[in-house]
Amino acid sequence: MVSKMNVHQFDVVVVGAGGAGLMAGLYASRGAKTAVISKLYPTRSHTGAAQGGISAALGNYEEDKPEWHTYDTVKGSDYLGDQDAIEFMTNEAIDAVLELEHMGLPFDRTPEGKISQRPFGGHTNNETGKPVRRAAHAADRTGHMILQTLYQQCLKNKVNFFDEYQVLDFLIVDGKAAGVVAVELATGELHTFHAKAVIFATGGHGRIFEVTSNAYAYTGDGAAILLRKGLPLEDMEFFQFHPTGIYKLGILITEAVRGEGGVLINGKGERFMPKYAPSVKDLASRDVVSRAIYTEIRAGNGANGKNYVYLDVRPESVNKYAALDGRTNPDGTPYTITGEQVLAKLPDIIDFCRVYLGVDPVTQMMPIQPTAHYTMGGIPTNKFGEVVIDDKNTAFPGLFAAGECACVSVHGGNRLGTNSLLDLVVFGKHAGLKAAEYANKADFQKLPDDAESGARSQFDAIRSASGKENAFDISTEMKKVMFDDVGIYRNEKGMTEALEKVRSLKERFKHVRVTDTGKVFNTELLNTWELGNMLDVAEVVASCALNREESRGGHSREDYPERDDQNWLKHTLVWKKDGKVSIGYKPVVITKYQPKKRVY
């Protein structure tokens, strides 16, 4: 039975308290009674791990304009991004970054006291083709400062938080959103959140891969919940592998290292990016750089014969290559950097390398390998955060999504660095506004008699399993096969085997063992439930990747090495129907920029 104590009613419920969820909560709460539910304390969210910056054509050091930002993002997406949405985002970018400053965000400053900006991969002056300083930054903890600032503003504005509540189920009544059901981690009690509008801001699913920069929390919960409800996901084959993760651990080393002049060096001591991207070299977009690293490794040019290369930000190297490239400061003088400046600009990176590698980047090179980093695909939405459920972009009444879990699509086949923080601020805001607007016109749907049943049955299925199988082992096997065979380079044979493997793991998962029978912080049960989500997501990722017979952005097929606009300039939509994966498509929105060959 549902206890009345455990039913809450809000106009808008936001699921997730990272950058997108907090921004949505902040804006929705201005116009409607709003709650933000998070499985973590909000300040633990993964937005806090973002390092290098948030992009906007502020032009604080040099000429820049939103049109250039738009084109760079379209090109970065390998023409799969929807151009109307991209243009919307880059036009909103300047005000979005200024709004963060007005909220108190401690951006680094130019000598005149304006927001400081640094170059980042794929962001260029469209006339010269050279990198442009577009990434507004707070040292190398820009995401941390965005997360803190937004949480603080939510506290100031008295947003209601339910911290450490895991949402398990989304309630649909008569084809409309009716709320969510969550478990309170501290007590194990189920809670029903009756709502007119629900915003999913649940983050990505990078934890399906072995080497990843992503937090443990990144288990694709939102995407999996909606998939099980019969809703589609979009472009799930597109996942970003960031070129520079700490070797073996996958911890992110920001692209800002290269923005500040760092270069990639192979095992022979050669700077190799000019071969792959003659114009912007080490600041090519991430898919290009990750492939270049793998190509070097496959050619036997990995460091010490292994599958890693070096990132070099030692001042003598930076200064040498900056001089060779003719890089200058905004005032036209030659670009140089000192050890102290490296330390001041990249304090966290220095700290990570010292702690985890015992390497000091000011005097030593960093061993790096590509790391699973960002979910380009996700819950399909329009630019107002409304979840759309078919090829005609029909909105699902009362359901919204924003941030990494959503696919607007502004990132298409490959996201540019710094566009994720921009995405979550811009679309978090609009999802919040639109959800409040919707809630103010809509009525509450009547709750089903046993609203908790869907959530309860998910836990019951895990608890009543036969117990032959170990979740840790299933998880380890899934991550390995996904990283090896549905990773940077993909082919039909590898992916077919990976898909079979994931399906066999799903079968084994039905017999998983959970030994903790308690209610208080039953993290074993929760982590096992999260593993179920990851398996569901991994299956559609592998299926969509196998289905797309071309190479585009982060999706690189060895057996189909070219982009094929004739047949594949379209978004994938994927459903689970009667236990089977079903794939459809929808058109890409092209406004100003016709697809052309992508060269950096």
Partner 1 sequence: MEVTLKIFRYNPEVDKKWHYETYNLDVDEKERILDLLELVKGHHDGTLSFRRSCAHGVCGSDAMRINGRNHLACKTLVRDVGDKITVEPLLGLKVVKDLIVDMEPFFDNYKKVLPYFINESPLPADGKERLQSPEQRARFDETTKCILCAACTTSCPSFWGSDDYLGPAALVTAHRFIFDSRDEAAAQRMQIISETSGLARCHTAFNCTMACPREIQITKAIGELKMATITGKVS
Binding site for partner 1 (CB under 8 A): 40-41, 43-46, 48-49, 95, 98, 101-104, 106-115, 138-139, 141, 144-145, 148-149, 152-153, 155-156, 186, 215-217, 249, 251, 348, 351-352, 355-356, 470-473, 513-516, 518-524
Handedness of CA 147, 151, 156, 159 (dihedral sign): positive
Shortest spacing between CB 16 and partner 1, in angstroms? 13
Q: Of 220, 275, 209, nearest to 46 (Cα)?
A: 220
Residue 11 or 221: the one with the smaller Cβ distance to partner 1 is 221
Residue 504 or 523: the one with the smaller Cβ distance to partner 1 is 523
- Interhelix angle 523-547/221-228, rounded to 10 degrees, is 70
Residue 24 or 514: the one with the smaller Cβ distance to partner 1 is 514
Encoded tokens for 381: 């939405």
Q: Which residues pair with 119 in a beta bridge?
A: 133
Shortest spacing between CB 100 and partner 1, in angstroms? 9
Shortest spacing between CB 4 and partner 1, in angstroms? 24
Using an 8 Å Cβ cutoff, are 323 and 114 in contact? Answer: no
Q: How many CB atoms lie within 10 A of CB 176?
A: 17
For residues 84 and 95, what is the distance between their CA atoms, to the nearest angstrom? 18
Q: Of 337, 353, 143, nearest to 244 (Cα)?
A: 353
Residue 138 or 233: the one with the smaller Cβ distance to partner 1 is 138
Shortest spacing between CB 107 and partner 1, in angstroms? 8
Instruction: Please report the beta strands in 287-416, taking only residues with DSSP state E, as ranges in sequence order.
Output: 309-312, 366-375, 379-380, 386-388, 395-401, 406-407
Shortest spacing between CB 113 and partner 1, in angstroms? 4
Encoded tokens for 435: 């959800």
3-state secondary structure 172-234: EECCEEEEEEEEECCCCCEEEEEEEEEEECCCCCHHHCCCECCCCCCCCHHHHHHHHCCCCEE
Residue 111 or 579: the one with the smaller Cβ distance to partner 1 is 111
Q: Which residues 6+ apart lie within 8 Å of 201 measured at CB?
A: 14, 15, 16, 17, 18, 20, 21, 24, 222, 401, 402, 403, 405, 406, 424, 428, 431
Encoded tokens for 472: 């840790």
Shortest spacing between CB 62 and partner 1, in angstroms? 16
Residue 22 or 408: the one with the smaller Cβ distance to partner 1 is 22
286 part of the active site: yes
Residue 175 or 358: the one with the smaller Cβ distance to partner 1 is 358
Q: Which residues 6+ apart lie within 8 Å of 170 measured at CB?
A: 177, 180, 198, 200, 225, 226, 229, 399
Q: Which residues 6+ apart lie within 8 Å of 363 measured at CB?
A: 314, 339
For residues 418 and 423, what is the distance between their CA atoms, to the nearest angstrom? 9
Shortest spacing between CB 519 and partner 1, in angstroms? 7
Residue from 134, 141, 286, 552 carrying the catalytic annotation: 286
Q: How many CB atoms lie within 10 A of CB 112?
A: 6
Tell me the residue type at 271: R
Q: Which residues pair with 99 in a beta bridge?
A: none
Cα angle 22-398-156, degrees, rounded to a multiple of 5: 25
Shortest spacing between CB 352 and partner 1, in angstroms? 6
- Interhelix angle 83-102/419-441, rounded to 10 degrees, is 90
Q: How far is CA 477 from the centre of its chain?
A: 23
110 phi/psi in degrees, rounded to 5: -80, 170
- Interhelix angle 19-31/419-441, rounded to 10 degrees, is 30
Q: Of 292, 329, 312, 328, nearest to 600 (Cα)?
A: 292
Shortest spacing between CB 104 and partner 1, in angstroms? 2
Q: Of 168, 214, 226, nearest to 482 (Cα)?
A: 214
Q: Which residues are catalytic?
A: 286
